[in-house]
Amino acid sequence: MTGAAAIDAGAGTVSFGSTIAAGANNLTVTAREIDFAGAVSGSGTLTLQADGPAIATFVGGSTSGAGQLDLTAAELAFLQDGFAGLVFGRVGSSAALTINAVALSDPSTFRAGTGGITVAGNLVANDGATFAAATTLGANVTTSGDALTFNGSVVVGTATAPTVATAGDALAVNGTVNGAGALTLDAGSGALTVANAIGATSALTSFSATGATIAVDDVTTTGAQSYTGALTLDGTLTTANAPVTVTGNVTLAGASGFATAGGNVTVTGTINGGQTLSANVGAGAINFAGDIGGTTALTSLTATGATISVDDVTTTGAQSYAGALALDGTLTTSNAAVTVTGNVSLAGASGFATSGGNVTVTGTINGGQTLNANAGAGAINFQGDIGGTTALTSLTATGATISVDDVTTTGAQSYAGG
């Protein structure tokens, strides 16, 4: 070929009986049937599309049917690596584009308009792919280290468990995600971004996300959620009595939370961001293993669970804990209250520092550790016995008023109040 070419056979068939060398030129083929019999090479863009917007297109697989464009895996195997892009389907199509099992070697774009795209067989898009319409995932989509982009909504097929993986490049979903299936998104060492809510209309059965960075909004599943990587959260992670696990640090980009109706919540890293965080796990356990607000203070923190485990927590506003609290650090606010509705077990040297906010603990406090409570001009109200089961090593309390019951320590006790 010596220039860009467009071949249009209408409702007929275009058959290439030998090899095609398109060079750097773009080639567009429009027909009801397109057949290749030899190697097809080039470094431009190859577009293969049906003859009309109402004609369905099938990419991959091995079957053919009347009244549709079938590009079987065997025919597509004639396409040689080196094209700048492969384009399948029509802009503005009202018919569906279905992807069956196929492997492609060049950057691929799938177009379907309102007809939508269905991934019915495993797609290996070795040089990346863009899905330019709403996509239903019923099988896996993988690359060998190139980006995947979904520019429309994504529906996970009922009772399916697709994996979308880039082996280290970016993975972006720019629409909503819904459907009663299990979805795994794996960007490896790349960035994973889901720009809109997941499961808001139809909850997923489970969701797993892996990336160097992960960004999500609201996520709703009936089963477990797992995040491996640095998570940017701008919403609530909701399950139906199933766990949420974050292996990495969390940055809050908006008011955020966990709501698991009994499932455990575990965050292995730090949590930062000038936003509110609410964690309600019902009868489950909360384990925040890293410091909270150490780099950027949260505006407030509310935690409710059967057990709650925290280290240092820093907020500009109030902190509230409802459940048995295991504390291994200092709860710090800026003239705002800290309230613990439950017993406290000290797992390390711990304290309260509220700069004028009141401190209230309704239950007992135990543990062979130091406790330093400084409420400034605020009130300290420890309503249960302190050290009754396991004596503290020492207790220091400073506040406008201080209220305590029995207090047992192996070392000194100091109270400075108005």
Sequence-distant (6+) residues with CB within 8 A of 43 are: 22, 23, 24, 82, 83, 84
* pLDDT at res. 418: 67
pLDDT digits (tens, 9 = 90+) for 81-136: 999 999 999 988 999 999 999 999 999 999 999 999 999 999 999 999 999 999 99
For the segment 45-64, what is each residue's pLDDT rounded down to a tens digit? 999 999 999 999 999 998 88
Q: For 239-290, how does the pLDDT look when each residue is reduced to its tens digit (9 = 90+)?
A: 999 999 999 999 999 999 999 999 999 999 999 999 999 999 999 999 999 9
Report how many helices (DSSP H) and strands (DSSP E) the chain contains, helices first: 1, 50
Question: What are the sequence ranges of the domains in the chain?
Answer: 1-133, 325-418
Place of tokens 């407030």: 300
Assign residue 400 a region (left: φ > 0; alpha: ψ between -120 and 50; beta: otherwise). Answer: alpha
Res. 1: pLDDT tops 60: no
Q: What is the dihedral of CA 334, 337, 343, 344, to 10 degrees?
A: 10
According to the model, what pLDDT value does residue 308 have? 98
Tokens representing residue 341 in the block: 């509705």
